[in-house]
Amino acid sequence: MEHRTLVDTVAEKLLEDIVAGRLAPGDALPPEADIAAESQVSRLTVREALTMLRTINVISVQRGRGTFINPPDEWTSVEAIVRAAAHSTGDSLASRQLLEARRLVESGAAALAAARRTEQDLEVLRREVESMAAADAAGDADAFVEADRLFHTGILKASGNTLFAAVFVPMGRVLASARREAFTAPAVRARTLAMHRKVLTAVDSGDQHGARQAMEDHLGQIQDDFDGGTAGLTVPSAEGQLAAEVQKAAVV
Protein backbone atom coordinates (compact mmCIF):
# COMPACT_ATOMS: atom_id res chain seq x y z
CA MET A 1 0.00 0.00 0.00
CA GLU A 2 2.84 2.38 0.88
CA HIS A 3 4.57 1.64 -2.43
CA ARG A 4 1.34 2.22 -4.34
CA THR A 5 0.88 5.57 -2.57
CA LEU A 6 4.39 6.63 -3.62
CA VAL A 7 3.66 5.63 -7.21
CA ASP A 8 0.42 7.63 -7.15
CA THR A 9 2.19 10.63 -5.63
CA VAL A 10 4.88 10.71 -8.30
CA ALA A 11 2.32 10.26 -11.12
CA GLU A 12 0.17 13.02 -9.61
CA LYS A 13 3.13 15.42 -9.39
CA LEU A 14 4.13 14.77 -13.01
CA LEU A 15 0.54 15.21 -14.21
CA GLU A 16 0.22 18.47 -12.27
CA ASP A 17 3.44 19.77 -13.86
CA ILE A 18 2.01 18.89 -17.27
CA VAL A 19 -1.48 20.38 -16.89
CA ALA A 20 -0.03 23.52 -15.27
CA GLY A 21 2.24 24.03 -18.26
CA ARG A 22 5.53 23.50 -16.49
CA LEU A 23 6.02 20.61 -18.88
CA ALA A 24 4.47 21.20 -22.31
CA PRO A 25 3.25 18.84 -25.05
CA GLY A 26 6.22 17.70 -27.08
CA ASP A 27 8.65 18.17 -24.20
CA ALA A 28 10.80 15.28 -23.06
CA LEU A 29 10.43 14.21 -19.45
CA PRO A 30 13.55 14.39 -17.30
CA PRO A 31 15.47 11.12 -16.95
CA GLU A 32 14.04 8.60 -14.49
CA ALA A 33 17.05 9.09 -12.21
CA ASP A 34 16.40 12.84 -11.99
CA ILE A 35 12.71 12.36 -11.22
CA ALA A 36 13.58 9.77 -8.59
CA ALA A 37 16.11 12.09 -6.94
CA GLU A 38 13.72 15.04 -6.92
CA SER A 39 10.86 12.95 -5.49
CA GLN A 40 13.14 10.98 -3.17
CA VAL A 41 11.85 7.64 -4.40
CA SER A 42 13.37 4.66 -6.19
CA ARG A 43 13.68 4.46 -9.96
CA LEU A 44 11.28 1.49 -9.83
CA THR A 45 8.63 3.76 -8.29
CA VAL A 46 9.20 6.35 -11.01
CA ARG A 47 8.97 3.68 -13.69
CA GLU A 48 5.59 2.52 -12.35
CA ALA A 49 4.36 6.12 -12.19
CA LEU A 50 5.34 6.64 -15.81
CA THR A 51 3.53 3.44 -16.73
CA MET A 52 0.36 4.89 -15.17
CA LEU A 53 0.69 8.02 -17.33
CA ARG A 54 1.42 5.96 -20.44
CA THR A 55 -1.74 3.94 -19.80
CA ILE A 56 -3.86 7.08 -20.21
CA ASN A 57 -1.68 8.28 -23.10
CA VAL A 58 -0.46 11.41 -21.33
CA ILE A 59 3.08 10.39 -22.24
CA SER A 60 4.63 8.08 -24.78
CA VAL A 61 8.02 6.46 -25.19
CA GLN A 62 9.98 7.10 -28.36
CA ARG A 63 12.52 4.31 -28.60
CA GLY A 64 16.05 5.61 -28.50
CA ARG A 65 14.95 9.20 -27.77
CA GLY A 66 13.13 9.24 -24.44
CA THR A 67 9.67 9.81 -22.94
CA PHE A 68 7.62 12.68 -24.35
CA ILE A 69 4.40 14.46 -23.39
CA ASN A 70 1.42 13.98 -25.70
CA PRO A 71 -1.04 16.82 -26.45
CA PRO A 72 -4.24 16.71 -24.34
CA ASP A 73 -6.40 15.78 -27.34
CA GLU A 74 -4.62 12.41 -27.37
CA TRP A 75 -5.19 11.68 -23.67
CA THR A 76 -7.71 8.98 -22.74
CA SER A 77 -8.45 10.00 -19.14
CA VAL A 78 -11.46 12.28 -18.60
CA GLU A 79 -10.04 13.44 -15.28
CA ALA A 80 -6.72 14.42 -16.85
CA ILE A 81 -8.45 16.25 -19.72
CA VAL A 82 -10.69 18.14 -17.28
CA ARG A 83 -7.69 19.15 -15.21
CA ALA A 84 -5.89 20.39 -18.33
CA ALA A 85 -8.92 22.50 -19.22
CA ALA A 86 -9.04 23.92 -15.70
CA HIS A 87 -5.51 25.28 -16.15
CA SER A 88 -6.05 26.50 -19.69
CA THR A 89 -7.40 29.75 -21.09
CA GLY A 90 -11.08 30.06 -21.91
CA ASP A 91 -10.60 29.68 -25.67
CA SER A 92 -8.52 26.51 -25.44
CA LEU A 93 -9.22 23.39 -27.49
CA ALA A 94 -9.73 21.39 -24.28
CA SER A 95 -12.39 23.83 -23.05
CA ARG A 96 -14.18 23.72 -26.39
CA GLN A 97 -14.19 19.94 -26.42
CA LEU A 98 -15.60 19.83 -22.88
CA LEU A 99 -18.37 22.22 -23.88
CA GLU A 100 -19.23 20.18 -26.97
CA ALA A 101 -19.40 16.97 -24.93
CA ARG A 102 -21.49 18.62 -22.24
CA ARG A 103 -23.91 20.03 -24.82
CA LEU A 104 -24.49 16.65 -26.43
CA VAL A 105 -24.91 14.70 -23.19
CA GLU A 106 -26.83 17.17 -21.05
CA SER A 107 -29.58 17.68 -23.62
CA GLY A 108 -30.21 13.93 -23.51
CA ALA A 109 -29.92 13.92 -19.72
CA ALA A 110 -32.60 16.61 -19.53
CA ALA A 111 -34.96 14.46 -21.61
CA LEU A 112 -34.36 11.50 -19.30
CA ALA A 113 -34.84 13.74 -16.27
CA ALA A 114 -38.26 14.76 -17.57
CA ALA A 115 -39.24 11.09 -17.69
CA ARG A 116 -37.60 9.91 -14.46
CA ARG A 117 -37.43 12.87 -12.05
CA THR A 118 -38.70 12.47 -8.53
CA GLU A 119 -40.26 15.11 -6.34
CA GLN A 120 -36.96 15.33 -4.49
CA ASP A 121 -35.17 16.01 -7.79
CA LEU A 122 -37.64 18.78 -8.59
CA GLU A 123 -37.15 20.33 -5.17
CA VAL A 124 -33.40 20.53 -5.83
CA LEU A 125 -33.92 22.12 -9.25
CA ARG A 126 -36.46 24.64 -7.94
CA ARG A 127 -34.15 25.57 -5.07
CA GLU A 128 -31.23 26.25 -7.39
CA VAL A 129 -33.34 28.34 -9.76
CA GLU A 130 -34.49 30.38 -6.75
CA SER A 131 -30.86 30.72 -5.66
CA MET A 132 -29.92 31.92 -9.14
CA ALA A 133 -32.71 34.50 -9.03
CA ALA A 134 -31.55 35.75 -5.63
CA ALA A 135 -27.93 35.92 -6.78
CA ASP A 136 -28.98 37.77 -9.92
CA ALA A 137 -30.92 40.33 -7.88
CA ALA A 138 -27.92 40.80 -5.59
CA GLY A 139 -25.46 41.00 -8.47
CA ASP A 140 -23.49 38.13 -6.90
CA ALA A 141 -21.69 36.36 -9.77
CA ASP A 142 -20.03 33.80 -7.50
CA ALA A 143 -23.35 32.68 -5.99
CA PHE A 144 -24.90 32.62 -9.45
CA VAL A 145 -22.11 30.38 -10.75
CA GLU A 146 -22.56 27.94 -7.85
CA ALA A 147 -26.35 27.75 -8.23
CA ASP A 148 -25.94 27.27 -11.99
CA ARG A 149 -23.50 24.41 -11.40
CA LEU A 150 -25.76 22.72 -8.85
CA PHE A 151 -28.76 23.02 -11.19
CA HIS A 152 -26.90 21.16 -13.93
CA THR A 153 -25.69 18.57 -11.43
CA GLY A 154 -29.32 18.13 -10.39
CA ILE A 155 -30.36 17.50 -14.00
CA LEU A 156 -27.64 14.88 -14.44
CA LYS A 157 -28.68 13.08 -11.26
CA ALA A 158 -32.39 13.31 -12.10
CA SER A 159 -31.67 11.50 -15.38
CA GLY A 160 -31.21 8.33 -13.35
CA ASN A 161 -27.98 7.50 -15.20
CA THR A 162 -25.14 7.47 -12.68
CA LEU A 163 -22.49 7.58 -15.42
CA PHE A 164 -23.62 11.05 -16.50
CA ALA A 165 -22.96 12.55 -13.08
CA ALA A 166 -19.72 10.64 -12.56
CA VAL A 167 -18.24 11.88 -15.85
CA PHE A 168 -19.79 15.29 -16.38
CA VAL A 169 -20.00 16.86 -12.91
CA PRO A 170 -16.21 17.56 -12.99
CA MET A 171 -16.66 19.12 -16.43
CA GLY A 172 -19.41 21.31 -15.06
CA ARG A 173 -17.06 22.62 -12.38
CA VAL A 174 -14.50 23.64 -14.98
CA LEU A 175 -17.01 25.32 -17.27
CA ALA A 176 -18.85 27.02 -14.41
CA SER A 177 -15.60 28.56 -13.25
CA ALA A 178 -14.92 29.78 -16.77
CA ARG A 179 -18.40 31.37 -16.86
CA ARG A 180 -17.89 33.55 -13.79
CA GLU A 181 -16.69 36.56 -15.77
CA ALA A 182 -19.68 36.32 -18.12
CA PHE A 183 -22.04 36.19 -15.13
CA THR A 184 -20.85 39.60 -13.94
CA ALA A 185 -23.01 41.01 -16.77
CA PRO A 186 -26.68 41.45 -15.69
CA ALA A 187 -27.91 40.64 -19.21
CA VAL A 188 -26.12 37.31 -19.28
CA ARG A 189 -27.48 36.37 -15.85
CA ALA A 190 -31.02 37.34 -16.89
CA ARG A 191 -30.85 35.34 -20.08
CA THR A 192 -29.33 32.32 -18.33
CA LEU A 193 -31.94 32.42 -15.56
CA ALA A 194 -34.77 32.49 -18.11
CA MET A 195 -33.34 29.44 -19.87
CA HIS A 196 -32.97 27.52 -16.61
CA ARG A 197 -36.61 28.26 -15.82
CA LYS A 198 -37.57 26.90 -19.24
CA VAL A 199 -35.63 23.68 -18.58
CA LEU A 200 -37.22 23.35 -15.14
CA THR A 201 -40.74 23.86 -16.54
CA ALA A 202 -40.24 21.13 -19.14
CA VAL A 203 -38.73 18.67 -16.65
CA ASP A 204 -41.45 19.41 -14.10
CA SER A 205 -44.20 18.77 -16.65
CA GLY A 206 -42.58 15.58 -17.93
CA ASP A 207 -42.07 17.05 -21.41
CA GLN A 208 -39.09 15.07 -22.70
CA HIS A 209 -38.87 16.80 -26.07
CA GLY A 210 -39.25 20.22 -24.49
CA ALA A 211 -36.62 19.48 -21.85
CA ARG A 212 -34.15 18.29 -24.47
CA GLN A 213 -34.72 21.36 -26.63
CA ALA A 214 -34.58 23.76 -23.70
CA MET A 215 -31.25 22.37 -22.54
CA GLU A 216 -29.91 22.33 -26.10
CA ASP A 217 -30.89 25.99 -26.47
CA HIS A 218 -29.29 26.87 -23.14
CA LEU A 219 -25.99 25.16 -23.90
CA GLY A 220 -26.10 26.65 -27.37
CA GLN A 221 -26.25 30.00 -25.60
CA ILE A 222 -23.13 29.08 -23.64
CA GLN A 223 -21.40 28.14 -26.91
CA ASP A 224 -22.44 31.50 -28.32
CA ASP A 225 -21.06 33.29 -25.25
CA PHE A 226 -17.88 31.23 -25.49
CA ASP A 227 -17.41 32.39 -29.07
CA GLY A 228 -17.93 36.03 -28.06
CA GLY A 229 -21.66 36.29 -28.69
CA THR A 230 -22.40 38.32 -25.55
CA ALA A 231 -21.02 41.51 -27.00
CA GLY A 232 -23.63 44.25 -27.15
CA LEU A 233 -26.21 42.27 -25.15
CA THR A 234 -28.74 44.47 -23.35
CA VAL A 235 -31.18 43.70 -20.58
CA PRO A 236 -34.73 43.28 -21.99
CA SER A 237 -37.54 45.22 -20.39
CA ALA A 238 -40.07 42.40 -20.38
CA GLU A 239 -40.22 38.61 -20.22
CA GLY A 240 -41.42 38.42 -23.81
CA GLN A 241 -38.46 40.46 -25.04
CA LEU A 242 -36.12 38.25 -23.05
CA ALA A 243 -37.58 35.15 -24.64
CA ALA A 244 -37.06 36.67 -28.08
CA GLU A 245 -33.46 37.53 -27.23
CA VAL A 246 -32.85 34.02 -25.97
CA GLN A 247 -34.19 32.59 -29.20
CA LYS A 248 -31.81 34.75 -31.23
CA ALA A 249 -28.81 34.07 -29.03
CA ALA A 250 -29.09 30.28 -28.80
CA VAL A 251 -26.99 28.48 -31.38
CA VAL A 252 -28.65 25.13 -31.99
Residues 112-124 pLDDT 10s: 999 999 999 999 9
Angstrom CA distances, 95 to 55, 168, 212, 249, stand at: 23, 13, 22, 20
Q: Which residues pair with 97 in a beta bridge?
A: none
Inter-residue contact 210 to 114 (CB < 8 Å): yes
List the domains of the chain with CATH numbers: 2-74 (1.10.10.10), 78-249 (1.20.120.530)
Q: Which amino acid is at 145?
A: V
Q: 84: exposed, middle or buried (C-beta count within 10 Å: 0-12, 13-18, 19+)?
A: buried
Residuewise pLDDT in 10s, the chain (252 residues): 456 689 999 999 999 999 888 999 999 999 999 999 999 999 999 999 999 999 999 999 998 899 999 998 899 887 787 777 666 654 456 567 777 888 889 999 999 999 999 999 999 999 999 999 999 999 999 999 999 999 999 999 999 998 888 777 766 666 666 677 778 889 999 999 999 999 999 999 999 999 999 999 998 887 776 666 543 333 333 333 333 333 333 322
DSSP-derived secondary structure letter, 160: T
Give the tens place of pLDDT for each residue, 55-114: 999 999 998 899 999 998 899 887 787 777 666 654 456 567 777 888 889 999 999 999
76-80 long-range contacts, CB within 8 A, separation 24+: 78/167, 78/170, 78/171, 79/170, 80/15, 80/19, 80/56
Q: Spell 196-230 as b/e; 16+ CB within 10 A means b.
A: bbbbbebbbeebbebbbbbbbbbbbbbbbbbeebb
Of residues 212, 134, 132, 214, the one with CA closest to residue 179: 132
Length of the chain: 252
Which H helix or E strand runs over 51?
helix 43-55
Inter-residue contact 226 to 100 (CB < 8 Å): no
